[in-house]
Amino acid sequence: MAEIKSPLGDADRKVAGEALQGALIDLLDLSLTAKQAHWNLIGRNFKVVHEHLDEVVDLARASADDVAERAVAIGVNPDGRSRTVADRTQLPQLDPGYLGDDKVVAQIADLLGQIIARFRERVAATDEPDPVTQDLLIGITAELEKQHWMFQAQV
Amino acid sequence: MAEIKSPLGDADRKVAGEALQGALIDLLDLSLTAKQAHWNLIGRNFKVVHEHLDEVVDLARASADDVAERAVAIGVNPDGRSRTVADRTQLPQLDPGYLGDDKVVAQIADLLGQIIARFRERVAATDEPDPVTQDLLIGITAELEKQHWMFQAQV
Amino acid sequence: MAEIKSPLGDADRKVAGEALQGALIDLLDLSLTAKQAHWNLIGRNFKVVHEHLDEVVDLARASADDVAERAVAIGVNPDGRSRTVADRTQLPQLDPGYLGDDKVVAQIADLLGQIIARFRERVAATDEPDPVTQDLLIGITAELEKQHWMFQAQV
Amino acid sequence: MAEIKSPLGDADRKVAGEALQGALIDLLDLSLTAKQAHWNLIGRNFKVVHEHLDEVVDLARASADDVAERAVAIGVNPDGRSRTVADRTQLPQLDPGYLGDDKVVAQIADLLGQIIARFRERVAATDEPDPVTQDLLIGITAELEKQHWMFQAQV
Amino acid sequence: MAEIKSPLGDADRKVAGEALQGALIDLLDLSLTAKQAHWNLIGRNFKVVHEHLDEVVDLARASADDVAERAVAIGVNPDGRSRTVADRTQLPQLDPGYLGDDKVVAQIADLLGQIIARFRERVAATDEPDPVTQDLLIGITAELEKQHWMFQAQV
Amino acid sequence: MAEIKSPLGDADRKVAGEALQGALIDLLDLSLTAKQAHWNLIGRNFKVVHEHLDEVVDLARASADDVAERAVAIGVNPDGRSRTVADRTQLPQLDPGYLGDDKVVAQIADLLGQIIARFRERVAATDEPDPVTQDLLIGITAELEKQHWMFQAQV
Amino acid sequence: MAEIKSPLGDADRKVAGEALQGALIDLLDLSLTAKQAHWNLIGRNFKVVHEHLDEVVDLARASADDVAERAVAIGVNPDGRSRTVADRTQLPQLDPGYLGDDKVVAQIADLLGQIIARFRERVAATDEPDPVTQDLLIGITAELEKQHWMFQAQV
Amino acid sequence: MAEIKSPLGDADRKVAGEALQGALIDLLDLSLTAKQAHWNLIGRNFKVVHEHLDEVVDLARASADDVAERAVAIGVNPDGRSRTVADRTQLPQLDPGYLGDDKVVAQIADLLGQIIARFRERVAATDEPDPVTQDLLIGITAELEKQHWMFQAQV
Amino acid sequence: MAEIKSPLGDADRKVAGEALQGALIDLLDLSLTAKQAHWNLIGRNFKVVHEHLDEVVDLARASADDVAERAVAIGVNPDGRSRTVADRTQLPQLDPGYLGDDKVVAQIADLLGQIIARFRERVAATDEPDPVTQDLLIGITAELEKQHWMFQAQV
Amino acid sequence: MAEIKSPLGDADRKVAGEALQGALIDLLDLSLTAKQAHWNLIGRNFKVVHEHLDEVVDLARASADDVAERAVAIGVNPDGRSRTVADRTQLPQLDPGYLGDDKVVAQIADLLGQIIARFRERVAATDEPDPVTQDLLIGITAELEKQHWMFQAQV
Amino acid sequence: MAEIKSPLGDADRKVAGEALQGALIDLLDLSLTAKQAHWNLIGRNFKVVHEHLDEVVDLARASADDVAERAVAIGVNPDGRSRTVADRTQLPQLDPGYLGDDKVVAQIADLLGQIIARFRERVAATDEPDPVTQDLLIGITAELEKQHWMFQAQV
Amino acid sequence: MAEIKSPLGDADRKVAGEALQGALIDLLDLSLTAKQAHWNLIGRNFKVVHEHLDEVVDLARASADDVAERAVAIGVNPDGRSRTVADRTQLPQLDPGYLGDDKVVAQIADLLGQIIARFRERVAATDEPDPVTQDLLIGITAELEKQHWMFQAQV
């Protein structure tokens, strides 16, 4: 069975592929983390934060799909299996059990800040090797920074 | 901050809670596994299987959400963090890299068969302790068995 | 070519399969009967009854599809061929030619009463062998009894 | 004019009918109570709680309709007149005038807890007499318990 | 906690508030009455009248919401609790049990006629004190008179 | 009760009526046959053929409805009862049990070819007697021939 | 200013143009007549007939638009002014004042029968001169005959 | 058969009824006139004016329906038959044949101006007798004046 | 080029025109003010207030459009240029930089109160000169007072 | 691999096939021509004509698809490759560069006139060989003649 | 209360912030200017230009919102108050009173040309400091240039 | 008549214009080629590939429109006439007659690979001259590469 021929040379593909795989891990764990908070949340602002977290989940899932499909489109196999996500994620993990709303808002804001820093490195890294991949990463960064602002505004 | 008061007694809540937590792990890892196959798939039937896998993802995600919200509604904290999923999942993991369509179809069929067996045990276990939880699990089992048939039919 | 592996043991599958095949015949002939009345209806209440009958057709068709797909999902081949329906149906057949609206309303009410009695037996029979099949049959019974009430209310 | 023939025997019909009539009173007064709070609410969380209460109203109205139509479908006349609701309701009544948001959230959580306890008794009571009625009551209980969790989470 | 400042002076607010509270009772009991008939209806025109009554319910519910929110917007607390509705309603109550379609049509027509007469008094009373409240009452009167015509046309 | 006055003379009505009744039998049995294949299908192309068959079912059902309503509009009673369909159908019947996808595709292609031949005769026969009926039959023939091409293209 | 060049020769255009102008008058007066009945209707079946008449109005208006635009497309000016409609219409006029439902149903059925007879003449007349115009008239005739059947069925 | 009981006294009903009947004639002939222009239009601005005229038709038809239903709701029979419209209309009639776009725009602007003058008289006349009717006429006047502005702006 | 002929006399047009121009300035600056707060908001209730402010923006924009188009329809040129808005607005301006949620809620409530007072004067002023303009202003006042209530309820 | 069996004999298929292939070339080049004008248009009526041309593009594309699928359904291979379109088209080609709106309107009107003449020949030619193909061509001719009228009306 | 932490360093944030604030003023005044023209427009092309201007308004409003939210997401407070817009705008202001269509088209084309020149400077300025902001500005520039072309094409 | 003023200088406009014209030819011939395959396809995977090709057609058509409108927006006339497409296309042409599905999949994959290589050159070429044009080309390249992957995955 044939493999996917990349529109990129080997070196460029390697750089772009690593950026995309890193982004995939960030986004998949973001989706799991936000769902965990969505379910275990308590506090006076429960309803609003509960629904806001699902907007983050939707963003993380849709972006993960775009990122992984971009990876395979340039001939790089994305790896989003549970074991891989758990081993490679750099996100701080939430505590088990009930999570107070104020603390959740602060944690999500903090966690988005960390992810954004890595996305900005990926944007810089892919500028030369693949402007198409870079454009996708820029678009996702814009959305993450918008959410980052909205969570910070509530702290 | 207050915890959620359960409509169930402690023993019933424990049984129902374990059934729901087990179901959650199955469904979250199913969603990750089906996405992994969705992205790395190759083969003559790529387009159909690629799209069919997303139906499984949608089912797994929606069911996981129902199951986790049911858990907290009976006063049990669901745990769907990446580390928990990776450590507790009983699903066989896919190989990294490209995945041939025929093999994927067979693997998903097999994997659904295993999940269904565990769901049928959970349905039996929750009959007395909580018919509301049981009704939810029966509904998800019906959907999983429908997908199981459709993947088997292609083997 | 592989057959569908049932999630049920042989004895349970036999009971559930017979319940589903019996339901399929009832529902397919109900859909044909209600259409026949829909087309040949006359009388002062033509417009309302004409449209009401199509609600019954929609219910019968959707339920027949669910029932047949449930059968194959547990490894039993549904048989909905015209010859099978004609030979096995227990529904009283409508007369050919024009059908007065009052008589149609009474006949459909009567016919729904007969089908419901058989569905209640199937609900009872599948309780132990397969709660998933039972849950589907309960759901269809609820809809049939709602239509039964509405046709009776017009007699 | 004909009455509706019940698919149930007299004893079963009596049990199921009482469960449904009791549920109807609970749900109708829940819809009036939640609207009263929706209108007279004040407090910092006004907007969120105001809209959340309308979700409860929608649930109560839709469930009341299902419950009453199920009653007549088994040959029992539902009674949802204002005098009947006022005389038979077991719900604690809200004070007149403005209602603070925190107090409303606590009262609705408490009131849902009481209704759920009665619904669980009705689910148990209808298991033998009528699984179709039981299935409807289980479905409504699941939704009430989901709302119960969400109001408790805000206390 | 602050009360709502009225855009009206005290005397005007009193007149407008009484008109709105009276309208609220009429509309809430209309919604309960039409539902009661919707459920217990029998007769040859069951299907049409059953559905027509739900149009009245929708109108009554939407208008009640507008009226109550208008009341609080002018600093008057609306009271729509079940006890208040039962004690203050001027609507003739339906008999319990099955209700024949012809009789229901006549009763609803009669009952709408009574409500309309009271609404016309409220329209006249609010002309000077609050043209905004009057405009809302005129709009509801138009809809009630349209339904009144349609029920009369069937007598 | 009055019968439907035909816009056609007796001879023309007879010809058009026979064409429509023949078409009705073809279309009703096509809908049952395609559903039977939809349910019992197995094979590597299961998903595509399973869904394609439902397009045929939709076409057959919608066309049968148009044909039967056209018959009664010209004063001829359509007969679509299960017994009539089983006795008069000229379609070759499918085997019971599982049906391989390649064989199903070939059978449906063959069966559509037979139906089309009869429809073309009906188009020719109704040209003079009733151009309105002919126009309907031409439209259905076009859709059947489109499906015929698509099934042949897969053989 | 330019006139519209006809795709037809003069003789054909004249025949087609007269057929279309005749159809326009029939359809415009049908729309006014059905509205008149829609408004002044009384009787036990008011609601159903009231709504059914609006289906006729929609059909008449849409068909009139198609017919008039077809006329101008072949270079013939349609005339649908009120004076022209009143002077040339062949439809029997309704009485002023209230109209009983049974009588309205019979009158509309009768009136549709007359229009259909003229449409069938127009279909025959345009066969040679312009098959495009004929095809439009056939399509409208089919819809008129469907309504004709449905009104007759209620007599 | 019963007539519709008016919520108005005889004198008020007479005034309101005449206002509504006059409005009905204006609106029905406006709808026919705008359609006539829509079909026979030529000129460089054909496309825009052709579509703009259909907005006028939609407004005229919807308003005519509201006006006629309001009339019968107050116990007055509206008369919208073609003969009545032709005899009583005060609108200047369009010439037959092609109509240049500039001239049409000017004629419609002029004609709307005349209708508006009569509507303003009707608004004044119904102030005391029936504020509900007045409110409807005010709403239609607002829409007519908006169209009046837009046609004038093009002159 | 022609100007728009007013349906009003000069004196009435002047009064109505001034009311509308005043309303336009209020509404345009309300839309800019609410957007400014929407963007610069911070605080624990950020998400709810952020979205609530956009409802105010939508209301202000839609109402401004209606008001300005009404002005030109009566032959008065609306002026909504930025310089005009800045010079004539009577609204207190927000501070630059971040805006705390509680303060924003209080400011918007206060500001709506001021606008409503001016709208009530305009409603009174236009009663005689132009009931059509008055009706538009009444409708907007109702919406503004509803928002006023909801913002006050959160203080 | 199998070819598509035609429902037509060889002679009829040849005639119908040539008509369809000719129509395909006309329609594909019409779609390219109208897009070329859509893009390069200038003039005072730019906006209207720009959008009107896209209606022609949509019509041409949808009709080309129907025509080509009809060809293969009767066993004739349609040829719509760019070289074939360029070599066989009979449409006059537009000049390169900017195109004035008046000239474009005249050219499209002229070009539609030429296409219609060829379509009318194809309608005549296919009457005997294949009424199904003829019916498709008649339907497209009607749409082309409607556009022809509308472009002529603007000249 | 916390401020928003910027993902950018101080120098980059300053550059990006100024670009965004400049863009905000351009877009807000564009929205007010286009609305002013939308309302006061007269001339033969009124309808088309009136609607075209609203497309510009929609573009300007949506872009202003994106630009302002981007500013706060990088920790810069956008200022869109009426006074600020009036004082800082560089757009030439429209004359008061009626505006002829040709002149409006030319003015909008000219004004868009000026805005585009400033946007191209902002695109260049933000390339290094913040590619995410640059990407947003590029997207808006593309839309503005598309509108610029369409207005020029009509001059 | 005025020409479109470019926001670019002459040299930049020339580079961007050539990139856009080249892209236009690629995309238009891609749309014709994919349609040709869509129509003449045969083989076991007919249904899936037939529908997949229409996704390519939609992408090619929408992108061609964007590219051509971008060209004219920078003052360059796009040329998409059939003769130009046929003469300048660099795409390998499909054979006439039936096309096997496997071969079509391979050809489309190959052809997309060639187009992508040219698009990547255009992306590089437009970086300096016009980042707005480049951004559009990057977006289209991303979509083409996604389709390229999906077709390769099926080889």
CATH number of the CATH domain containing I146:
1.20.1260.10
**Chain L within 8 Å of F52 (Cβ-Cβ)?**
yes
- What tens digit of pLDDT does each residue of B55-104 get? 999 999 999 999 999 999 999 999 999 999 999 999 999 999 999 999 99
Q: What is the pLDDT of residue B3?
A: 75
Asked, for residue A23, whether it belongs to a domain, the answer is: yes
Is position K81 within any domain? yes
Q: Per the CB < 8 Å rule, is K47 touching H102?
A: no
List subunits contacting chain I, requiring 3 or more Cβ pairs under 8 Å: A, D, E, H, K
Q: Check if E142 contacts I (Cβ < 8 Å).
A: no
> Which pLDDT tens digit goes with each residue over G37-77?
999 999 999 999 999 999 999 999 999 999 999 999 999 99
Taking contacts as CB-CB distances below 8 angstroms, the residues of chain J near L36 are 78-81
Chains H and K: how many Cβ contacts under 8 Å?
22
Does any CB of chain H come closer than 8 Å to the CB of residue I138?
no
* Chain B: residue whose CA lies nearest to C73: B149
Q: What is the pLDDT of residue D2?
A: 57
Q: Is residue B124 part of a domain?
A: yes
CA end-to-end span of chain A: 53
pLDDT in tens, I1-57: 557 899 999 999 999 999 999 999 999 999 999 999 999 999 999 999 999 999 999
Residues 6 or more apart whose CB falls under 8 angstroms from that of E95 comprise none
Three-class secondary structure assignment of E48-92: HHHHHHHHHHHHHHHHHHHHHHHHHHCCCCCCCCHHHHHHHCCCC
- CB proximity L113 to A under 8 Å: yes
Mean pLDDT on H10-22 = 97
Residues in L touching A4 (Cβ below 8 Å): 149, 152-153
I150–D46: do the CB atoms touch at under 8 Å? yes
Chain I contact for K20 (CB, 8 A cutoff)? no
List per-residue pLDDT tens for chain C, 155 residues long: 557 899 999 999 999 999 999 999 999 999 999 999 999 999 999 999 999 999 999 999 999 999 999 999 999 999 999 999 999 999 999 999 999 999 999 999 999 999 999 999 999 999 999 999 999 999 999 999 999 999 999 98
Question: Residue J2 domain-assigned?
Answer: no
Q: Which residue of G has its CA nearest to H100?
A: G1
pLDDT recorded at residue A123: 98
Q: What percent of chain I has a predicted confidence (pLDDT) above 90?
A: 96
Which residue among K44, K45, K46 sits closest to H150, beta carbon to beta carbon?
K46
Are G44 and E154 in contact (CB < 8 Å)? yes
Q: Which domain holds residue C32?
A: 10-152
> Residue L88 — pLDDT band, cuts 50, 70, 90?
very high
Question: Domains in chain D: how many in total?
Answer: 1
Exposure string over I15-26, b if 16+ CB within 10 A, otherwise e: bbbebbbbbbbb
Q: Does E117 reside within a domain?
A: yes
Please determine, for residue E16, whether its predicted confidence score (pLDDT) is greater than 60: yes
Q: Report the alpha-carbon angle J21-J23-J29, nearest 5.
A: 105
Residue E3 lies in a domain: no
Q: Which residue of H has its CA nearest to E145?
A: H73
Residue pLDDT, tens place only, G2-41: 578 999 999 999 999 999 999 999 999 999 999 999 999 9
Q: Which residues of C touch D135 (CB under 8 A)?
A: 135, 138-139, 142
Whether A4 shows a pLDDT value over 90: the answer reads: no
Each of the 155 residues of chain D gets a pLDDT tens digit; together they read 557 889 999 999 999 999 999 999 999 999 999 999 999 999 999 999 999 999 999 999 999 999 999 999 999 999 999 999 999 999 999 999 999 999 999 999 999 999 999 999 999 999 999 999 999 999 999 999 999 999 999 98
Q: What is the DSSP string of E96-132?
A: SS-EEHHHHHHHHHHHHHHHHHHHHHHHHHTTTT-HH
Residue of A6, A30, A39, A46 to mutate when probing chain B, most B C-beta within 10 A = A39
Q: Do the chains contact at K154 and J50, CB–CB below 8 Å?
A: no
K126: how many CB neighbours lie within 10 A of its CB?
23
Q: If you ran DSSP here, which 8-state letter would residue G99 be given?
A: E
Task: Say yes or no to pLDDT of H3 above 90.
Answer: no
Judged by a CB distance cut-off of 8 A, whether residue B135 touches chain C is yes
* Interchain contact, D132 vs C141, CB within 8 Å: yes
| Any J CB within 8 A of H37 CB | no
Evaluate if residue A1 carries a pLDDT over 70: no
Q: How many residues does chain G have?
A: 155
The answer to whether C5 faces chain F, any CB pair under 8 Å, is no
Chains in contact with G, counting 3 or more C-beta pairs less than 8 Å apart as contact: C, E, F, H, J
Distance from CA of D71 to the nearest CA of I (A): 40
Long-range (24+ apart) CB contacts under 8 A made by C53-59 are C53/C104, C53/C108, C55/C147, C56/C30, C56/C31, C56/C108, C56/C147, C57/C31, C59/C143, C59/C144, C59/C147
Flag whether H1 is in a domain: no
Chain L interface includes A4 (CB < 8 A): yes
End-to-end CA distance of chain G: 53
Within a domain: I2: no
Q: Which of H152, H32, H45, H154 is nearest to H94 (CA)?
A: H32
Whole-number percent of chain K with pLDDT over 90: 96
**Cα–Cα distance, D84 to D63 (Å, whole number):** 18
Q: Do K153 and J46 touch (CB under 8 A)?
A: yes
Chains I and J touch (3+ CB pairs under 8 A): no
For the cut 80, the answer to whether the pLDDT of residue K125 exceeds it is yes
Q: Cα separation of E119 and E142, whole Å?
A: 10
Above 60 in pLDDT, residue A57? yes
Determine contact: E100 vs chain C, CB below 8 A. Answer: no
Rounded Cα distance between L130 and K44, Å, is 37
> Is L39 in CB contact (< 8 Å) with chain F?
no
Label residues B49-80 b or e (16+ Cβ within 10 Å = b). bbebbeebbebbbebbbbbbbbbbbbbbbbbb
J43: confidence class by pLDDT, cuts 50, 70, 90: very high
Which chain G residue's Cα is nearest to E146? G39
What per-residue confidence (pLDDT) applies to B119? 98
The whole-angstrom separation of Cα G42 and Cα E115 is: 22
Question: Are F32 and C81 within 8 A, CB to CB?
Answer: yes
Contact present, A and B (at least 3 Cβ pairs less than 8 Å): yes
Contact F47 B102 (CB under 8 A): no
Give the nearest partner residue to C48 out of E41, E43, E47, using CB atoms.
E47
Task: Render pLDDT for L93-112 as a digit per residue (tens, 0 to 9).
Answer: 999 999 999 999 999 999 99
Q: Kindly give the parts of chain F with pLDDT less than 70.
A: 1-2
Specify the pLDDT at position D51. Answer: 98
Residue I153 with chain E: CB contacts under 8 Å: 4
Nearest CB neighbour to L152, from listed A5, A69, A135: A5
Q: Is G17 on the interface with H (CB under 8 A)?
A: no
pLDDT, one tens digit per residue, over E56-106 is 999 999 999 999 999 999 999 999 999 999 999 999 999 999 999 999 999
Q: Is G4 within 8 Å of chain E by CB?
A: no
User: Do strands H99-100 and H41-42 pair parallel, antiparallel, or not at all (unpaired)?
Assistant: parallel
Question: H67 touching E, CB under 8 A?
Answer: no
The pLDDT value recorded for residue C4 is 86
**Quick one: pLDDT band at residue K65, thresholds 50, 70, 90?**
very high
Q: What is the pLDDT of residue E113?
A: 97
Contacts of E126 in chain H (CB under 8 A): none
I77 → closest Cβ in K28, K40, K79: K40
| Cβ neighbours for K10, distance < 8 A, ≥ 6 positions apart | none
Q: J52 contacts in H (CB within 8 Å)? A: 47
Mutate to test the interface with H, among K38, K41, K45, K47 (most CBs of H within 10 A): K47
Contact J146 G73 (CB under 8 A): yes
- The confidence score (pLDDT) of residue L84 equals 98
Chains F and H touch, using 3 or more CB pairs below 8 Å = no
Q: Which among C26, C58, C77, C81 is the top mutation candidate for probing chain F, defined by the most F β-carbons within 10 Å of its own β-carbon?
A: C81
Query: Which residue does chain B place closest to D116, by CA atoms?
Result: B7
- In this complex, is the C-beta atom of G43 within 8 Å of any C-beta atom belonging to chain C? no
Considering only CB atoms, which chain H residues are within 8 Å of G36? 78-81
The first and second tokens of residue B88, run together, are 């507790």
Mean pLDDT of chain B: 96
Q: What is the pLDDT of residue A137?
A: 98
According to the model, what pLDDT value does residue B4 have?
86
Closest CA to K135 of K3, K48, K20, K13: K20
C-alpha atoms less than 13 angstroms from C-alpha of B30 in its C-beta half-sphere: 30
